[in-house]
Chain A
């Protein structure tokens, strides 16, 4: 008999626990799910706090805002597979385009719904070097010198790495007057200097800052200052002569918000990103605010820079993706592991 009691005592928690699980799923409150990419976590923690207060004051509704972070491409995949995001805030427009193309979760013209290409903040690609810049790395041209180790994630899997690649391309394009053979040669030599290709930006950060591999790390600007904060006195940020304007876009996933009845609050949440309060937070977290007045206040840290854009210089994401990163694109031609 002792044994039956033992087994029963094991079975009771099972019943109790599975009961709990059901209750959790059934209880409904107004909650928003923001599916984002890796480096935005700290920024959105602050934004969420501010927006919750704003919504409480305006509507008297207590909001619950949930966050999910991961590699931008992987996050898009999860949303397609059924992660019920109310809003997506990803690293590049291409990753939101697939939500329309693959699953019709939002309309094709999503990027026209909000100002500035639906990108309330921007960023760019900078160089992070060891303290004092011992290898004297000043510009893209220095990256192909022999003996320089360059750290970048893999452009096939990482949004940040694609911006890196296009930044290098933009410099070479100007330097060699558009001579594609010379540009390809430059990029080939650059990737010969890359000892490891991590799959995501955070992986590369760990490789460079924690494991101390490499001489220069091609990084998101905001990530570069985060490294400075987390590993004080170990690195310097170097601004190259030219870089690329990275526009991480945001969008309401309309099919999900209609189902959840959250369309209004999801829209308000994204519009809130353009308010002075949220723009201030963007600057605080080393993103470049769209609002130029507020941008000026952070100009000491985030200086004016010669930036090319994906639309003007690469014909938009769809074209850039096809030319450079899809199978058989320029990256496949120049990179041999």
Chain B
């Protein structure tokens, strides 16, 4: 109520603005979310549970968790090292490296998938060598993981770089003068400063890893029950007129997104309390 004296607009204008905001929010966010859940439960609970219990769905869920479970920790390491390197040191080619990190954001996911086919496909650069040694990359788990890692690479690094840049390296330099070695500087000085940003980046990275469609679609081969991830499985089911089952799997993805968002706001709450926030 204290705000009233601050705003100069008439109540009508304010209500119209609020109405417009709520309208846009409903149309673009709430309605689609509602539609997903409504479609999923249209034929009742049993059909919903059955479609998640089906072998192909279970294997898609497993594959999605596996791909995310491998690519997220990898990108956690890559992102952390990249951010550390770029922000704590000044060297030649640093600007180039910075834009290289953004590359996966800039290229279309289809290209992100096709590059792996060009490299590791049967007729790709390393294809004959891989075939000789009976190593499958494309149309198998490694290809799916490679595509996911590529697409989700920037999330952790992009989250950390501005944060670490704004913090500078004063504290690390102080630690060096006190005789700390590199490892303990990292654990005791750097990491505590960036932990919220890091977790936030990991969450975003995970959300995208589970939801990635384009790049994974190119390298998957769409073998049912084997190389279909959850987003691919949703498309397959939709094309097979199994709308309820498709939306049941879609609710799983939506649910994962909601959990991620919930965790994210929790994190923001905590990081706001503890470190003043990096965002």
**A: interface residue count bin:** 20 to 34
Q: Which of A11, A25, A66, A202 contacts B239 (CB 8 A)?
A: A202
B221 touches A78 (CB 8 A): yes
Binds A, one of B11-19, B121-129, B161-169, B207-215: B121-129
Q: Which of A21, A41, A68, A202 contacts B221 (CB 8 A)?
A: A68
A226 touches B73 (CB 8 A): no
Q: Which of B117, B122, B131, B223 contacts A33 (CB 8 A)?
A: B223
Does A192 have its Cβ within 8 Å of any Cβ on chain B?
A: no
B66 touches A20 (CB 8 A): yes
The residue in chain A whose Cβ has the minimal distance to the Cβ of B144 is: A21
A13-B69, A20-B66, A103-B123 given as contacts; is B225 within 8 A of A84 (CB)? Answer: no
Does A4 have its Cβ within 8 Å of any Cβ on chain B?
A: yes
Distance of A4 from chain B, by nearest CB (Å): 6
A41-B240, A82-B127, A103-B123 given as contacts; is B117 within 8 A of A14 (CB)? Answer: no
The residue in chain A whose Cβ has the minimal distance to the Cβ of B228 is: A68
Distance of A89 from chain B, by nearest CB (Å): 14
Does B192 have its Cβ within 8 Å of any Cβ on chain A?
A: yes
How many Å lie between the Cα of A196 and that of B66 in the bound state?
39
How many Å lie between the Cα of A70 and that of B241 in the bound state?
15
Which A residues touch B226, using CB under 8 A? Answer: 66
Does B136 have its Cβ within 8 Å of any Cβ on chain A?
A: yes
A10-B76, A66-B226, A202-B239 given as contacts; is B221 within 8 A of A83 (CB)? Answer: yes
Distance of A65 from chain B, by nearest CB (Å): 10
Does A3 have its Cβ within 8 Å of any Cβ on chain B?
A: yes
Does A304 have its Cβ within 8 Å of any Cβ on chain B?
A: no
How many Å lie between the Cα of A82 and that of B117 in the bound state?
9
B241 touches A81 (CB 8 A): no
Interface residues of B in 120-164 (CB under 8 A from A): 120-124, 127, 131, 136, 138-142, 145
A 1-42 binary contact with B (CB < 8 Å = 1; else 0): 001100000110110011011001100000001000010011
Interface residues of A in 75-112 (CB under 8 A from B): 78, 80-84, 103
Does B269 have its Cβ within 8 Å of any Cβ on chain A?
A: no
How many Å lie between the Cα of A78 and that of B140 in the bound state?
12
A 47-82 binary contact with B (CB < 8 Å = 1; else 0): 000000000000000000011111000000010111
Which B residues touch A20, using CB under 8 A? Answer: 66
Label chain A's interface by main secondary structure. helix
| Residue of A17, A33, A41, A42 with highest tally of chain B CB at under 10 A | A17
Does B222 have its Cβ within 8 Å of any Cβ on chain A?
A: yes
B 239-276 binary contact with A (CB < 8 Å = 1; else 0): 11100000000000000000000000000000000000
Which B residues touch A264, using CB under 8 A? Answer: none
B123 touches A24 (CB 8 A): no
Does A230 have its Cβ within 8 Å of any Cβ on chain B?
A: yes
The residue in chain B whose Cβ has the minimal distance to the Cβ of A82 is: B122
B140 touches A25 (CB 8 A): yes
Count residues of chain B with CB under 8 A from any CB of chain A: 35
Label chain B's interface by main secondary structure. helix
How many Å lie between the Cα of A4 and that of B202 in the bound state?
16
B 66-96 binary contact with A (CB < 8 Å = 1; else 0): 1001100110100000000000000000000
Which B residues touch A18, using CB under 8 A? Answer: 70
How many Å lie between the Cα of A69 and that of B74 in the bound state?
31
B123 touches A84 (CB 8 A): no
Distance of B39 from chain A, by nearest CB (Å): 12
A67 touches B127 (CB 8 A): no
The residue in chain B whose Cβ has the minimal distance to the Cβ of A15 is: B73
The residue in chain B whose Cβ has the minimal distance to the Cβ of A33 is: B223
The residue in chain A whose Cβ has the minimal distance to the Cβ of B195 is: A3
Which B residues touch A206, using CB under 8 A? Answer: 239
Which B residues touch A24, using CB under 8 A? Answer: 141
B222 touches A66 (CB 8 A): no
Does B236 have its Cβ within 8 Å of any Cβ on chain A?
A: yes
Which A residues touch B131, using CB under 8 A? Answer: 82
Chain A interface residues (CB < 8 Å from chain B): 3-4, 10-11, 13-14, 17-18, 20-21, 24-25, 33, 38, 41-42, 66-70, 78, 80-84, 103, 202, 206, 226, 230
Chain B interface residues (CB < 8 Å from chain A): 66, 69-70, 73-74, 76, 117, 120-124, 127, 131, 136, 138-142, 145, 187, 191-192, 195, 221-226, 236, 239-241
5 residue pairs from A and B, CB less than 8 Å apart: A18-B70, A21-B142, A69-B236, A70-B222, A82-B122
Q: 6 other contacts beyond A10-B76, A21-B66, A82-B121, with CB at 8 A cut-off?
A: A18-B70, A21-B70, A25-B141, A81-B117, A81-B123, A81-B139
